[in-house]
Amino acid sequence: MCGIAGYWNKNGQKADLQVLQNMTDALFHRGPDAGGYHIDGAIGLGHRRLSILDLSEHANQPFHSDCGNYSLVFNGEIFNFQSFYPELKNKGYDFKTTSDTEVLLYLLIEYGMDVLSRLNGFFAFAFFDKTKNQLSLIRDRYGVKPLFIHEDEEGMSFASEPKGIFAKGIEKRIKEDKLSELFFYRHVSGIDTIFEGVERVLPGYFQVWESGKLKSESRWYHLGEEAKKLSKIANPFEWYSETFFDSVKLRMISDVPVGTMLSGGLDSTGVLYSQHAQGFNDISTWNLRFPGFAKDESHLAERISKDYGVEYNGYEFIGSNLVELLDESLRINDEPIMHFTDALLLGLSMEAKKKVTVLHTGEGADEIMAGYVRYKIFGDPIRYQALHLLNYVPERWLSKDRLRKLQRYLASGNPDFHILTNANEYYLGDIKKLGLEHLDVLPQYRVEILKEAKKYYPNNRLRQLLYLEHHTHLSSLNDKNDRTTMGGSIECREPFLDYRLVTGIASLPDKYFSTKGKGKYLAMNTIGKKLPDYIQNHEKIGLAIPWNEYMLHLPELREHLETMHESSLFEMSWLKYIDVKQIVKEFKENPVKNYTFIRQLFFNSYWYAKTFKG
């Protein structure tokens, strides 16, 4: 797990070592153990290393072939790298390290991009082929590892985080036409970021560059197509258990201590159960505590850790400490935060780093197996139709917040739009009340992915939603997990995102996607049954922070609340039409009812202050 960066001058001017060092220094937190650089004429490749496999200096990057024609900078892990040893040795390759990077280099030399489908892991890497004068940029199937690019008249640059690109001297500017998507969906999807000229390499894609210019882009992994051509799984429950266990086992490969990020919920506990059942004893659990808070699950995490004989570590982050972590998470993340838990996960990663370098997480299970409560609306077509009756009920008659939220959500009356906005907290009627009907609420990437979803699952809206979420919401979660863990120099591994699991589950019949109870039908009827009753029967609780209270009562945040109307962010695009002072006033009068929109305004203007003024 590392940070990579590099650039290629179009005019042929030799790459500058100091520029390359500036780019990689910006990513120091991703790889504090070693730094390496390679310059070949106009191209420069840089690397920051977090040592996980083969801790010797021989495994430092960039890696080069003996002939000098091939170079590689690699971020991530190839968990099945050892399985390639016999094949590569038979072809005459000699190994000088026990790292997966060396295996990847030889595989790319031997097979090129055709080998990508055989790799089990997460990765983003740059491979330079001097014989063809080509640089290939590759990203893993689900975007677990990030990769950003920039191109202008001078050349191209890439980095694991936007800050690596900005360190080259690229101006940091907001892409104003993406502010609508940012505020409505809380995340800019597809290739775009909130920064002008900075784009993502999409998950499952690779690009080929020549002399600093993009030559081609290809989609090497396509979830819909891969699931479609997969052979029928004869016994899904047995297959799921075996594949999940093997996924966990593969992700235990490490030359440094491994721990598990444990919430007390089904997913992370399932990971811990698999580790315990397979005899991995030298592990620890890492948990967020919220003493006195209704959503505190630390007692469950501590109890299951004790039952399995695992060392438990629980931490709470409150007050000024939380604000400091928030500021640092904004610096680490570059883009605005979407999930509002980044500060807590960063703090937990920093504490975990004192004992471990790898953490497992249960991320991804909800998106691939329909675990969120909000998915239930599409779990039953009859229920979906019945809920539309809420549109005829006066809002004042709805006593529960969830029913009022459902009414706002369903008001558009368009099933496709309901799928697109299922993860939203703000809806079409909400922006109409502000007189902002002109906002772009149909970003092209989201619309195109929904079209794909309808092609592969034409008769099931829940499956269409899951397909969309896989390419949008899950991408934002992967961004959050990467930044908050790498911000603490921790490698985060997601067993549920093993491609065999994701593709196999996507190929199953609809009956395996029941949303009854806690959802996640496959997991609940396999691994879930092995867990203690106090885990199985516990109500699903999402990680949440009472930011409305903190905005009002923490001095550092209250100060921003009172002055955020002065932010120049509110002079951009449609934001100039919002009466921020009035919105703040209404929030202070009712911090619960008026929380949703103020949170967006608050955190984005706070991000702007720290990112552009700090």
Q: Where are the alpha helices (DSSP H) in 507-574?
A: 521-524, 533-536, 547-553, 555-563
User: What whole-number distance in Å separates Cα of residue 297 and Cα of residue 235?
Assistant: 34
pLDDT of 614 over the 60 cut:
no
Mean pLDDT of 90-115: 97
Per the structure block, which two tokens stand in for 548? 């409305």
Q: Which of 131, 135, 172, 121 is nearest to 45 (CA)?
A: 135
Q: Where are the alpha helices (DSSP H) in 114-189?
A: 162-166, 179-185
Give me the pLDDT at residue 386, please: 93
The answer to whether residues 233 and 152 touch, using CB atoms and an 8 Å cutoff, is: no
Equal fold, 2-221 vs 231-369+472-536: no
Sequence spans of domains, the chain: 2-221, 231-369+472-536, 546-614
User: What whole-number distance in Å separates Cα of residue 569 and Cα of residue 607?
Assistant: 10
User: What whole-number distance in Å separates Cα of residue 312 and Cα of residue 297?
Assistant: 13
Q: Specify the DSSP element, H or E, that contains 384.
A: helix 381-387
Band of residue 53 on the pLDDT scale cut at 50, 70, 90: confident
Q: Which of 60, 65, 66, 64 is nearest to 48 (CA)?
A: 60
Q: Please provide residue 359's backbone torsions phi and psi, each rounded to the nearest 5 degrees.
A: -125, 135
Per the structure block, which two tokens stand in for 21? 């060092």
Question: What is the helix, strand, coil percentage profile of the chain, to 5?
Answer: 50, 15, 35
The answer to whether residues 15 and 5 touch, using CB atoms and an 8 Å cutoff, is: no
Per-residue b/e over 105-124, b at no fewer than 16 CB within 10 Å? bbbbbeeeeeebeebbbbbb
DSSP 272-334: HHHHHHTT--SEEEEEE--TT-TT--HHHHHHHHHHTT-EEEEE---HHHHHHHHHHHHHHH-
Pick the CATH number of 231-369+472-536 from 3.40.50.1820, 3.10.20.30, 3.40.50.2300, 3.40.50.620: 3.40.50.620
Q: Where are the alpha helices (DSSP H) in 40-91?
A: 85-90
Q: Which of 84, 152, 145, 70 is nearest to 112 (CA)?
A: 70
The CA–CA distances, whole Å, from 29 to 159, 161, 162, 292 equal 13, 11, 14, 33
pLDDT tens, 241-259?
999 999 999 999 999 999 9
Per the structure block, which two tokens stand in for 227? 């699931």
Q: From the CB of residue 133, how many other CB atoms can be counted at a distance below 10 Å? A: 14
Coil vs helix vs strand at 345: helix
Half-sphere exposure of 349 (CA within 13 A, CB side): 30
Burial class (CB in 10 A: 0-12, 13-18, 19+), 467: buried
User: What whole-number distance in Å separates Cα of residue 365 and Cα of residue 474?
Assistant: 10
Average pLDDT, whole number, for the chain?
94
Give me the pLDDT at residue 290, please: 82
pLDDT of 193 over the 90 cut:
yes
Q: Specify the DSSP element, H or E, that contains 451.
A: helix 444-456
Which pTM was predicted? 0.96
Give me the pLDDT at residue 395, please: 82
User: What whole-number distance in Å separates Cα of residue 233 and Cα of residue 237?
Assistant: 9
Per the structure block, which two tokens stand in for 589? 């009068």
pLDDT tens, 491-508?
999 999 999 999 999 999
- Sheet harboring 70-78: ordered strands across? 63-64, 70-78, 121-129, 134-139, 205-210, 213-219
pLDDT tens, 560-606?
999 999 999 999 999 999 999 999 999 999 998 889 889 999 999 99
The answer to whether residues 126 and 45 touch, using CB atoms and an 8 Å cutoff, is: yes
User: What whole-number distance in Å separates Cα of residue 167 and Cα of residue 48?
Assistant: 15
User: What whole-number distance in Å separates Cα of residue 614 and Cα of residue 612?
Assistant: 6
Q: Please provide residue 93's backbone torsions phi and psi, each rounded to the nearest 5 degrees.
A: -85, 135
Give me the pLDDT at residue 292, please: 67
User: What whole-number distance in Å separates Cα of residue 514 and Cα of residue 370?
Assistant: 8
Per the structure block, which two tokens stand in for 579? 């009466």
pLDDT tens, 303-335?
999 999 999 999 999 888 899 999 999 999 999
Q: Which of 194, 177, 196 is nearest to 186 (CA)?
A: 194
The answer to whether residues 120 and 94 touch, using CB atoms and an 8 Å cutoff, is: no
Provide CB contacts within 8 A for 61, sequence distance 6+: 2, 36, 47, 49, 72, 73, 74, 101
Mean pLDDT of 432-436: 86
Q: Which letter does DSSP use for residue 9 in this model?
A: E
Give me the pLDDT at residue 287, please: 95
The CA–CA distances, whole Å, from 225 to 34, 205, 348, 471, 503 equal 40, 14, 38, 14, 9
Mean pLDDT of 25-29: 97
Mean pLDDT of 190-195: 98
Q: Look up the CATH superfamily of 2-221.
A: Aminohydrolase, N-terminal nucleophile (Ntn) domain (3.60.20.10)
